[in-house]
Amino acid sequence: MQAIRSILVVMTPEQPEGLALKRAKLIAGVTQSQLHLLVCDKKHDHSAYLHDLSSSLQQEGFSVSSQQAWHENLHQTVIAVQQAEGCGLVIKQHFPDNPLKKALLTPDDWKLLRYCPSPVLMVKTDRSWIGSSILAAVDVGNSDAEHRTLHASIISHGYDIAALAKAELHVISAHPAPMLSAADPTFQLKETIEARYREECKAFQAEYEIAGERLHIAEGPADALIPQVARQLNAAVTVIGTVARTGLSGALIGNTAEVILDSLESDILVLKPADIIAHLEELVAQR
């Protein structure tokens, strides 16, 4: 995160508590990044709000720029500005959609997680990061090159956040339940599955210097286990990665991040591999 030079902060004028800005100030205070404040609105003029807020932040010692913009919808607006300004991180407060609306329409925050080329931090709580636990979610069972690169990014970001928040980094990896139909006998017994995962984790732990008590291996679906472990640890931030499931043509996010967005009781940082980022940047450029 030290390499981030500019942070895009999605502002919501009607939400005065400004949780996204609170996180942005914490990160910028350590990385010396510039804050770019964005209001997504085509109807009302927010120039006075942005001017006053920018002036206040500059007096606090932050480097600040701001704008109001609108491109068809919220997620496209955020992505267009992120690309134009070269922001290395997008921070937005998450407001849950009601279940009926979510069943009928894909939520804007899901689309932002899917299509934004940069890392996205969704802020969900006003709980302090300082002295808390940070949870990084990885899939140790997948050791292909794409996952290894993504794991490195997840752990690196996890350690960065833990350092700036004076917090402890924990890691979770879910493994599948036993299947009697599995061709490999290893996957027919719970004990052998967990033993195999723990064996695979030894090299992972050594590489990233993760103590045994901070590595959580559990059986079951990741979208249920990650919120459960985050709750047990009282985690302030959960770091998760996404890998395209159906080829780059779909640019599809692994839907775990979307599913857990509402069930997590922590902020969530979503990362993508470099090849997906490049593909998403191409899509933005074609618009």
| 65-115: pLDDT as tens digits | 999 999 989 999 999 999 999 999 999 999 876 666 555 566 788 889 888
With beta carbons less than 8 A apart as the criterion, state whether 266 and 125 touch.
yes
pLDDT at 249 exceeding the cut of 50: no
pTM (predicted TM-score): 0.88
CATH class for the domain made up of 133-286: alpha beta
Sheet holding 34-40, edge to edge: 64-69, 34-40, 6-11, 89-93, 120-123, 267-271, 235-241, 133-137, 168-175, 215-219
Identical fold for domains 6-123 and 133-286, yes or no, is yes
Of the chain, the percentage scoring pLDDT greater than 90 comes to 53
Residue 269, pLDDT above cutoff 60: yes
**Of the ranges 56-65, 107-116, 210-219, the best mean pLDDT one:** 56-65
Task: Look at residue 141 in the predicted model and tell me its pLDDT.
Answer: 72
Can you tell me the mean pLDDT for 160-169? Answer: 94
| Class of the CATH-defined domain 6-123 | alpha beta
| In the predicted structure, residue 187 carries a pLDDT above the cut 50 | no
Domain coordinates in residue numbering, the chain: 6-123, 133-286
Of the candidates 198, 199, 236, 239, which has an alpha carbon nearest to the alpha carbon of residue 217?
Answer: 198
202: pLDDT confidence band, cut at 50, 70 and 90? confident
What is the reported pLDDT for 86?
A: 94
pLDDT at position 250: 39
CA–CA distance, 281 with 279 (Å, rounded to integer): 5
